Structure 1
Amino acid sequence: MPDVSLWHVARASGFVATLLFTATVLLGILGPMRVGTPSWPRFTLAGLHRNLSLLSLALLGIHLVSVAVDSYVPITWADLFVPFVSAYHPFWLGLGTVSFDIFLALLATSLLRPRINPRMWRLLHWSAYLCWPLALVHGLGIGTDALSSWPLGLSVLCTLAVLAGVAWRIAATLARRRAPDAAARKTTTMARLS
């Protein structure tokens, strides 16, 4: 019977990385919304976002190494960095590779953030909204049991959480933009009534 321990490591690290990346994306969504309380200040969210990103990277590293070392499927080290060249499920693995490459760019630019124009950094950081769904679709497409009950449920819950976070951020941004207009209209109305 073949040793399946590396398959279990790859599978488990992929699932946990998905959860951590989802949490990282959610914290990234909350950060610009200036969410915080006296007991949970905003800088805590930023620190948690950064630390979860690094923890996600560690889990992703375990996932990648276990996939490359496992001889059951023909995935080479180059396949982990160069998208769509693998002999094993080139499309699905390629999506994961593109996501990983984007994540590396996000990590590098975040580490260099003090030396990068803030607008450029923000623009680059928006690519996280591409990185996360690519990784999720990669897992659904290449995972040996990704479409069975609990793995599929995990993917659905992660998707719903991120969509809810994005909807909340869009609604908050629109409300913030409308507030000055409403205040200006109220001031104009009050001036006319005076």
Structure 2
Amino acid sequence: MDELFWSIARTSGIISLCLLTGSLLLGIMARSGRSFGALSRYTQSLLHRSFSLLSVLFAALHVIALLADSYARVHLIDLLIPFFGEYRPFWQGLGTVGLLLMLAVSLTGLLRQRLSQPMFRGIHLASYLLWPIAVAHGLGNGSDAGAVWYRVITVVSIALVAAAGIWRLTANYADHASARRLAREGAKP
């Protein structure tokens, strides 16, 4: 049974990280105010939310499988207090920090209409911290971290996020975001 839980934990962790990467990329694109390729801004936003929620679900499956696996030695307290786990406490602790950040970002996404814009944006910006923490957790604690296929996935993910981050910092990105904000503010009565 432990092998089944271990396989579920490994697979769901990798899928969650891939979905988190996709969500981050889609969030950056949607925030620019431009459509990307054949995707409308609405479709980008819908995909961003879907990837985010699926990432949370797969992260929950990852955690549940680890809790059920006696070999993994993950306990309920490890989900609340980082860096005190039995196995590789630093890397496991990063997973705990990532999980808590993921929950905070997800809740702000679900409660967006009830939060002030500055509060939503401030907490939602934690995604930029969440993603590298999740990548580091996978590299430091993942049993597949040494596999070539896993490293390829990680390198491609890092390259895509780095490219999107650089693009976000360009003047062209800022011009589109400013134009979108002005158009939104001009539409208000």
Task: Give the alignment's TM-score, normalised by structure 1.
Answer: 0.85
Query: 1:47: Cα distance to partner?
Result: 1.0
Would the aligned equivalents of 2:85 and 2:92 in 1 still touch at CA under 8 Å?
A: yes
Number of residue pairs matched by the alignment? 178
Q: Name the CA distance, whole Å, in 2 between partners of 1:174 and 1:101.
A: 30
Task: Quote how far apart the aligned CAs of 1:81 are.
Answer: 2.6
Counterpart of 2:79 in structure 1 is 80
Cα distance in 2 for partners of 1:148, 1:37 equals 33
Task: Provide the rounded CA distance (Å) in 2 between the counterparts of 1:134 and 1:119.
Answer: 24
Shift of 1:43: 1.3
The question of whether the paired residues in 1 share the 8 Å contact of 2:108 and 2:120 is answered with: yes
How much does 1:35 deviate? 2.0
Any unmatched runs of 5+ in structure 2? Answer: 180-189
Deviations 1:86-128 (A, max 9, x none): 1111100000110110110111111111111101211111110
TM-score by length of 2: 0.87
Any conservation in 2 of the 1:9–1:66 contact (CA below 8 Å)? yes
SS across alignment from 2:146: coil
4+ aligned runs moved over 4 Å, structure 1:
172-175
Report the counterpart of residue 130 of structure 2 in structure 1.
131
Matches within 5 A, 1:55-94: 55-94=54-93
Q: SS in structure 1 opposite 2:87? A: coil
Rg: which structure is higher?
1
Moved more, 133-142 or 77-86: 77-86
Preserved CA contact (<8 Å) 1:81 1:100? no
8 Å Cα contact 1:81/1:97 also seen in 2? yes
Q: Distance in 2 between matches of 1:175 and 1:46?
A: 19
Which residue in 2 is equivalent to 1:7? Answer: 6
Paired residues of 2:2 and 2:71 also in contact (CA < 8 A): no
SS class of match (1:156) = helix
Q: Distance in 2 between matches of 1:175 and 1:124?
A: 21
1:115 and 2:114 are equivalent in the alignment = yes
Task: Rate the CA distance shift 1:39–1:163 in 2: closer, same or farther, 3 A.
Answer: closer
Report the aligned-residue RMSD. 2.1
Q: Give the secondary structure class of the aligned counterpart of 2:44.
A: helix
C-alpha distance in 2, partners of 1:5/1:59? 16
CA deviations 1:156-191 (Å, max 9, x no partner) are 1111110011111111456629x99xxxxxxxxxxx
Contact 1:33 1:169 in 2 (8 A): yes
Where structure 1 has 5 or more consecutive residues not aligned to the other structure, the ranges are 181-194
What is the rounded CA distance, in whole Å, between the counterparts of 1:153 and 1:38 in structure 2? 25
Structure 1 pair 37–138 and aligned structure 2 pair: CA distance change class (3 A): closer
CA shift digits 1:17-43 (9 cap, x unpaired): 111000000011111111216953211
